[in-house]
Amino acid sequence: MAASKSSLSALTLGAVGVVYGDIGTSVLYAVKEVFGSGHVPFTPDNVYGILSIFFWTLTVIVSLKYVVLVLRADNNGEGGLVAMLALASQSVKDRPQLRRVLLLVGIFGTCLFYGDGVITPAITVLGAVEGLEVVSPAFKKYLVPLAIMILLGLFMVQKRGTASIGRFFGPVMVVWFLIIALLGVVNVASGPKILWALSPHYALGFVFHNPAITFVILGAVVLCVTGAEALYADMGHFGKKPIRLAWFTVAMPALTLNYFGQGALLLSNPAAVKNPFFMMAPDWALLPLVGLATLAAVIASQALISGAFSVTKQVIQLGYLPRLQVQHTSVKDTGQIYLPFVNWGLFVAIVMAVVMFKSSSNLAAAYGIAVCTDMLITTILTFFVIRYSWHYPLALCLGATSFFLLVDLAFWASNLLKLFDGGWFPLLIGGAVFTLMMTWKDGRRLLNQKLEADAIDLHSFLEAVFVSPPLRVDGTAVFLTAGPGTVPNAMLHNLKHNKVLHQNNLFVTVRNHEVPWIGLDKRVEIESLGHDCWQVVIHYGFKNDPDIPKALQHIKGHGCELDSMTTSYFLSRDTVVPTIDSGMAQWREKLFSQMHHNASAAADFLKLPNNAVVELGSKIEI
């Protein structure tokens, strides 16, 4: 029991650091953007109304929607939009048209995650260093270069992994939440009447008397729930209970106290609207607070960067992106990975955002559309999961999701007003990634169709070969093939040029599934083809780590004993040649050809030993 409590405490501490780093730093800019927008007349009643809207936004979107409802939709213990997409698509697999639509919607939502992944580190780090401007206006010209330097340092250490610094995330964020709660308490104590804003009637009153203004400012109010999707995405790392415990005991109380403290400050000093968070602190505490805020901003950014690595690997497994170089940064935790291409691609896009927008206020105009679209997609997918996977009554499913759908739609529609002020930026990033993903998926489909059309039946081919068998040499040949039952091109080339056949021959197909994990008991299927030849199918979930040599150890006892010293792996290295008037548009075929050419080597992705790989190439027209 004591060990269980200790484990729960450790997981809760970790959840505070990783899950709530992003939402925990929203206090830096959320209130400032609502009152600094110029849309809300500065009156005590409006301060009460806005604070009430903040509190009930946190309650409805985070507490009720994500913590209570969405966390229930786990895919074998895993969460996040990719896991939800897999769950929803599986629940309607008997409705192919609907499943196709849900897959498109879910993949588009996943693409928008990258747009969010660019805006969030930029706005968080800029929001933190802007505290220096409160210390002295002379710091203003140094804010953008300083933010870029901090981000460069953050991205440079990614290849070392988060294991060494991750243990500090929780304690640092606990200190952060305690400090922002303390700042809130001190200011609320000077104007305790602000706590009346906890009542929903202040929020409803503001909405009723200012419907147009409310609609406009929802685009800024959404800043208080930045990172809400992380609650669900990190479920597999921490579990439901620690995430819920961390929210209700640490994050939400601290955020509420700080927001209400900023409200109390604004009532006593309206001039503080230029940066209410930092102006809550006494002068002597400003520089330490800027340092702590910067550290919290780095932690918030780190969680999102790690999430981008994880999501990219999952999307590759699902077949929507080409193989990329994946480096494991921990010998214990297979989930800790580093993708150089994603790392530096994100960095370049974030620097562009910082240089283009120059301040957290300008970036706030760009933030919102991507995250609100993701929230909307999560709600839609949740309906299909609870209706078709859990088989709840239709009335209950509609009741559970329609309220959240209306709330999401209101925030989403409001954020559309920011489209030309910067909202186009994350949409442009998401749209570009979506184009790449769909081009890769469609290109792979065309390539597989071409390979299937030209394929030779494996059983018939082996029968013909063994009528007059070629010379057999010692050792085992492992031929990687896209689909079982067909002759791999690598084998044809090997017979043509080397005119030999190994003593043992394995025809291996890797199958990726729309579930997070495939257990070891279901990892491998093996079928004997006679003449010391076997058909092997290896199964992986989108969170499993592909490792062919390790998987092939499970075939022992089926008449085929592998010796790593005498095993060779034969791969077909296909060159894709675009053609006119077939398949995709010409530009998409050229794009797919380039993506296929630049894909990371299959040998590295599948953990094949470099000194035992033979690649034989061929050209394929699509």
- Residues 6 or more apart from 605 whose CB is under 8 A from it? 323, 326, 546
Pull the structure tokens for residue 429: 């990033």
pLDDT one-digit tens code per residue, 310-356: 889 888 888 899 988 888 776 555 567 788 999 999 999 999 999 99
**Cα–Cα distance measured from residue 84 to residue 400, given in angstroms and rounded to the nearest whole number:** 17
| Run of H or E residues at 34 | helix 30-36
Residue 556's alpha-carbon distances to 389, 525, 553, 560, 561, in angstroms, are 37, 12, 6, 6, 6
- DSSP category for residue 600: P
Where are any strands of DSSP class E within 514-585? 524-530, 533-540, 567-577
**Cα–Cα distance measured from residue 90 to residue 464, given in angstroms and rounded to the nearest whole number:** 41
Q: Which residues of the chain have pLDDT under 70?
A: 1-6, 162-167, 330-335, 581-582
Provide the CB-side half-sphere exposure for 117 (13 A, CA).
Answer: 29
- DSSP category for residue 512: E
**Cα–Cα distance measured from residue 111 to residue 82, given in angstroms and rounded to the nearest whole number:** 10
Please say whether the beta carbons of 521 and 539 come within 8 A.
Answer: no
**Cα–Cα distance measured from residue 423 to residue 116, given in angstroms and rounded to the nearest whole number:** 11
Q: Which of 240, 236, 230 is nearest to 173 (CA)?
A: 230
3-class state of residue 505 by DSSP: strand
Q: Is 27 exposed, middle or buried (0-12, 13-18, 19+ CB in 10 A)?
A: buried
Q: What is the pLDDT of residue 177?
A: 97
Q: What is the pTM of this model?
A: 0.86
- Residues 6 or more apart from 450 whose CB is under 8 A from it? 620, 621, 622
- Residues 6 or more apart from 602 whose CB is under 8 A from it? 323, 480, 571, 608
| Run of H or E residues at 185 | helix 163-190
Please say whether the beta carbons of 129 and 147 come within 8 A.
Answer: yes
Q: What is the pLDDT of residue 195?
A: 94
Pull the structure tokens for residue 9: 């405490």
Q: What angle, rounded to 10 degrees, do the helices at 200-209 and 44-57 form?
A: 120
Q: Which of 214, 203, 209, 194 is nearest to 258 (CA)?
A: 194
Residue 49's alpha-carbon distances to 54, 62, 189, 201, 203, in angstroms, are 9, 19, 19, 8, 5
Phi/psi class of residue 53: alpha, beta or left (left: φ > 0; alpha: ψ in -120 to 50)? alpha
Question: 289-313: buried (b, 16+ CB within 10 Å) or exposed (e) per residue?
Answer: bbebbbbbbbbbbbbbbbbbbbbbb
DSSP per-residue string spanning 135-181: H-GGGGGGHHHHHHHHHHHHHHTGGG-SHHHHHHHHHHHHHHHHHHH
Q: What is the pLDDT of residue 2?
A: 45
**Cα–Cα distance measured from residue 113 to residue 107, given in angstroms and rounded to the nearest whole number:** 10
Question: 470-488: buried (b, 16+ CB within 10 Å) or exposed (e) per residue?
Answer: eeeeeebbbbbbbeeebbb
Q: How many residues does the chain have?
A: 622
Please say whether the beta carbons of 152 and 301 come within 8 A.
Answer: no
